[in-house]
């Protein structure tokens, strides 16, 4: 070791990097307010479409409603044209894990479905998703999967505070899901979000306490666990987007965009209507 006087270190702390070595942006107060506006519009979009999510509606019809609502409110859908993605939302039914492309398929009594929307408002991205129960004859196991997935997301969010780690977040989600004998999808992660759709850090939904990125005020990212009723493995269909469970078991997901504050966490995508988990209203 070097026994000479300590070398002068920079008075500015090294910028945080995620597990891939990418710099993690720190956002100022103005950015938080802009993200809160984008997040609120994304959440309002889900609130708005909720009464239309009924047996018999085609998912492409819901996508048209979502697209119109965003544009009527001065935003554009972030997903449309993103890496060639062809729609303004993702709608993922039953064993579809994520990135379901809206189409002529009609929702049926007993389905569970995730609707994931991302707006770009004034250059800022707001990203959120919720589960829907279609009709009122939902199998008990499907309902339990949806409840556990919501609870897992909220348990992850509850870990977010300065000094805590992304490992704490992943561990909380994984513990809750696995205690219910469900499994956590490994192949997709939450992500930093701001003026970019998918930024650092990667947010794994499994982890070990104390490991990973140490959270600092100003970080903004999504927490969006995908939980399967069966095994965690997934595969992507030939359309290049639609992800399904390999064992065809049901899958559920919720997503919030959150920011690390001086003393904890701020959810940037709360529902103005007060919707949390289904049934809504
Ligand atoms: N909104 C999704 C997420 O949570 C991303 C969808 S990208 C798309 O990150 F291209 F599939 F729409
Ligand atoms: Co996301
Ligand atoms: Co999303």
Report pLDDT digits (tens) over 1-10.
554 444 555 5
Pocket of ligand 1, candidates 39, 43, 86, 118: which has the most ligand atoms within 8 Å of its Cβ, to mutate?
118
**C-beta 99 within 6 A of ligand 1:** yes
The CA 99 to ligand 3 mean position distance, Å, reads: 9
Report pLDDT digits (tens) over 95-142.
999 999 999 999 999 999 999 999 999 999 999 999 999 999 999 999
Pocket of ligand 1, candidates 101, 116, 130: which has the most ligand atoms within 8 Å of its Cβ, to mutate?
116
**C-beta 199 within 6 A of ligand 1:** no
pLDDT of residue 11: 62
The CA 55 to ligand 1 mean position distance, Å, reads: 25
pLDDT of residue 2: 52
Pocket of ligand 1, candidates 59, 85, 101: which has the most ligand atoms within 8 Å of its Cβ, to mutate?
85
What does the pLDDT average to over 73-93? 99
pLDDT of residue 14: 72
The pLDDT mean for the chain works out to 96
Q: How far apart are CA 271 and CA 150, in angstroms?
A: 14
For the chain, give the secondary structure using H, E and C: CCCCCCCCCCCCCCCCECCCCCECCCCCHHHHHHHHHHHHHHHHHHHHHHHHCCCCCEHHHHHHHHHHHHHHCCCEECCCCHHHCCCCCEEEECCEEECCCCCCCECCCCCEEEEEEEEEECCEEEEEEEEEECCCCCCHHHHHHHHHHHHHHHHHHHCCCCCCEHHHHHHHHHHHHHHCCCEECCCCCEEECCCCCCEEEEECCCCCCCCCCECCCCCEEEECCEEECCCCCEEECCCCCCEEECCCCCEEECEEEEEECCCCEEECCCCCCCCCCCCCC
Report pLDDT digits (tens) over 12-71.
677 799 989 999 999 999 999 999 999 999 999 999 999 999 999 999 999 999 999 999
135 backbone φψ class: left, alpha, beta (φ>0; ψ -120 to 50): left
**C-beta 63 within 6 A of ligand 1:** no
Residue 222 has pLDDT above 80, yes or no: yes
Reading the block at residue 85, the tokens are 């993605």
Other CB atoms within a 10 A radius of the CB of residue 72 amount to 9
Phi then psi for 175, rounded to 5 degrees?
-60, -45
pLDDT band of residue 73 (cuts 50, 70, 90) is: very high
Ligand number with the minimum distance to the CA of 222: 2
Q: Please state which CATH class domain 24-267 belongs to.
A: alpha beta
Ligand 1 atom index nearest CA of 188: 9
pLDDT of residue 42: 99
What is the percent of the chain where pLDDT is above 70? 96
Contact 142, 211 (CB under 8 A): no
The CA 104 to ligand 3 mean position distance, Å, reads: 22
Taking CA atoms, 185 is separated from 46, 57, 106, 120, 209, in Å, by 24, 28, 26, 27, 19
Reading the block at residue 237, the tokens are 């269909």
Ligand 1 atom index nearest CA of 87: 12
Report pLDDT digits (tens) over 166-177.
999 999 999 999
Residues with Cβ within 8 Å of residue 212, at least 6 apart in sequence: 19, 165, 166, 167, 170, 204
Residue 207 has pLDDT above 80, yes or no: yes
Ligand number with the minimum distance to the CA of 63: 1
Nearest alpha carbon to residue 207 among 16, 19, 26, 17? 19
Ligand 1 atom index nearest CA of 85: 10
**C-beta 79 within 6 A of ligand 1:** yes
């Amino acid at each position: 070791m070097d026994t000479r006087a300590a070398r002068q270190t920079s008075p500015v702390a090294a910028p945080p990097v995620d597990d891939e070595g990418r710099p993690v942006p720190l956002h100022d107060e103005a950015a938080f307010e802009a993200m809160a506006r984008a997040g609120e519009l994304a959440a309002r979009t889900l609130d708005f479409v909720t009464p239309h999510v009924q047996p018999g509606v085609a998912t492409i019809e819901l996508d048209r409603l979502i697209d119109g609502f965003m544009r009527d409110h001065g935003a554009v859908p972030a997903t449309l044209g993103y890496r060639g993605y062809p729609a303004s939302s993702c709608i993922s039914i039953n064993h579809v894990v994520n990135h379901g492309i809206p189409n002529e398929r009609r929702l049926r009594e007993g389905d569970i479905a995730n609707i994931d929307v991302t707006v770009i408002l004034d250059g800022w991205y707001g990203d959120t998703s919720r589960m829907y129960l279609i009709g009122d004859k939902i199998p008990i196991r499907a309902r339990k999967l949806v409840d556990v997935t919501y609870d897992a997301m909220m348990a992850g969010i509850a870990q977010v505070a300065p000094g805590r780690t992304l490992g704490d977040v992943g561990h909380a989600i994984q513990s809750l899901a696995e205690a219910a004998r469900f499994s956590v999808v490994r192949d997709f992660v939450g992500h930093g979000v701001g003026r970019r759709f998918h930024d650092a850090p990667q947010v794994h939904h499994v982890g070990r306490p104390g490991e990973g990125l140490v959270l600092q005020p100003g970080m903004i990212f999504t927490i969006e666990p995908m939980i399967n009723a069966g095994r965690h493995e997934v595969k992507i269909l030939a359309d290049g987007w639609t992800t399904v469970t390999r064992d065809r078991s049901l899958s559920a997901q919720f997503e919030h965009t959150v920011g690390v504050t001086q003393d904890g966490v701020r959810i940037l995508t709360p529902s103005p209507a007060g919707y949390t988990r289904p049934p809504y209203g």
